[in-house]
């Protein structure tokens, strides 16, 4: 048997490939959402009843066109991606998914059973700050953010009301973390109820079985959708099956992190055709 020293240790890239790629895509999307309205490439300013396209001032009516186009583009992207590879939009593009995942990591760090009151308060405060920033990200598309300080502006009260209502929803989303994506998100629900099409499905390599895992279960702990990645692709269920999978690749990365340093082949992979499995594997009883 090979010892940990007798094989070449994996690089960070090998064991975090999907995490790195996914976060890079998420960050590009968030930067685009910040840069486009901030530099007035496309922006509506309801507070001053004007809009901007590529830096040129236009009427609000004209300025609506690129915003509607952007919203339509995202809607079409969701549908097309869903048709090709399931909830890949949720796992790779949705800024809400990115922030919810970030929040989930903070929750693990600050909100355990043994957390002190100070840690809990810090967690709630950080959640509130992230919620405010995330809400402002979207308000930046439709108003000059300085309106929140201009009480003489006619939209002042309406803006504050809308902002606080949106902030409440965002705070709720972040407070519950990835449970938002699992249960409440309308885009996620749409993608669950449409027939699922996963060209690439994460699952266990055909030559391995559940007993090969020992008691690791790390891929289960790290699945943002609380699935058992080894066998979920065989399950037809909104919450426990492939409909819930966001194709993030955490399970493949995690299995590599567990197995490769021990000079063992990773058990998780992507397949186009699921290898046949007996009912005991699918029910998880062989573990």
Does residue 90 belong to the site contacting ligand SF4 (CB under 6 A)? no
Work out which of 227, 260, 277, 281 binds ligand SF4, going by CB under 6 A: 227
Give, as ranges, the residues between 152 and 211 that touch ligand SF4 (CB under 6 A).
Answer: 202
> What residues contact 138, with CB distance under 8 A and at least 6 apart?
33, 166
Give the DSSP H or E segment for 87: none
Q: Does 223 bind ligand SF4 (CB under 6 A)?
A: yes
63 or 249: whose CB is closer to ligand SF4?
Answer: 249
Q: Could you say which of 51, 142, 185, 267 contacts ligand SF4 (CB under 6 A)?
A: 267
C-alpha 253/C-alpha 286 separation (Å) is 24
225 is a site residue for ligand SF4 (CB under 6 A)? yes
**CB atoms closer than 10 angstroms to residue 165:** 11
Q: Which of 135, 258, 260, 281 binds ligand SF4 (CB under 6 A)?
A: 258
CB 212, min distance to ligand SF4, A: 7
Query: How many chain residues are in contact with ligand SF4, going by CB under 6 A?
Result: 26
281, 231 Cβ separation under 8 angstroms: yes
Which 234-253 residues touch ligand SF4, going by CB under 6 A? Answer: 245-251
Which parts of the chain fold into alpha helices (H)?
12-38, 60-85, 88-92, 95-110, 117-139, 156-176, 179, 186-193, 218-221, 250-259, 279-283
Local structure of 43: helix, strand or coil: strand
Residues that bind ligand SF4 (CB under 6 A): 202, 213, 216-219, 223-225, 227, 229-230, 232, 245-251, 254-255, 258-259, 267-268
């Amino acid at each position: 048997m090979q010892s940990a020293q007798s094989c070449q240790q994996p690089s960070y890239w090998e064991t975090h490939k999907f995490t790195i790629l996914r976060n890079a895509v998420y960050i590009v999307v968030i930067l685009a959402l910040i840069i486009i309205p901030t530099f007035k490439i496309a922006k509506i300013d309801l507070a001053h009843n004007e809009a901007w396209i590529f830096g040129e001032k236009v009427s609000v009516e004209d300025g609506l066109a690129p915003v509607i186009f952007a919203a339509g583009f995202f809607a079409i992207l969701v549908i097309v991606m869903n048709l090709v590879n399931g909830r890949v939009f949720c796992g790779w593009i949705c800024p809400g998914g990115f922030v919810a995942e970030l929040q989930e990591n903070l929750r693990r760090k600050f909100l355990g059973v043994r957390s002190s009151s100070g840690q809990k308060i810090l967690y709630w405060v950080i959640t509130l700050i992230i919620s405010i920033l995330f809400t402002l990200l979207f308000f930046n598309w439709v108003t000059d953010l300085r309106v929140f300080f201009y009480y003489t502006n006619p939209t002042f009260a309406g803006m504050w009301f809308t902002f606080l209502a949106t902030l409440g929803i965002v705070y709720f989303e972040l407070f519950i973390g990835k449970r938002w994506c699992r249960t409440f998100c309308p885009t996620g629900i749409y993608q669950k109820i449409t027939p699922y099409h996963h060209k690439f499905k994460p699952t266990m390599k055909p030559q391995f079985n559940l007993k090969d895992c020992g008691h690791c279960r790390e891929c289960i702990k790290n699945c943002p959708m609380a699935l058992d990645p080894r066998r979920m692709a065989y399950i037809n269920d909104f919450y426990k099956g492939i409909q819930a999978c966001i194709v993030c690749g955490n399970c493949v990365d995690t299995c590599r992190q567990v197995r490769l340093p021990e000079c063992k082949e990773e058990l998780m992979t992507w397949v186009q055709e699921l290898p046949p499995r007996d009912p005991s594997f699918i029910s998880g009883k062989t573990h």
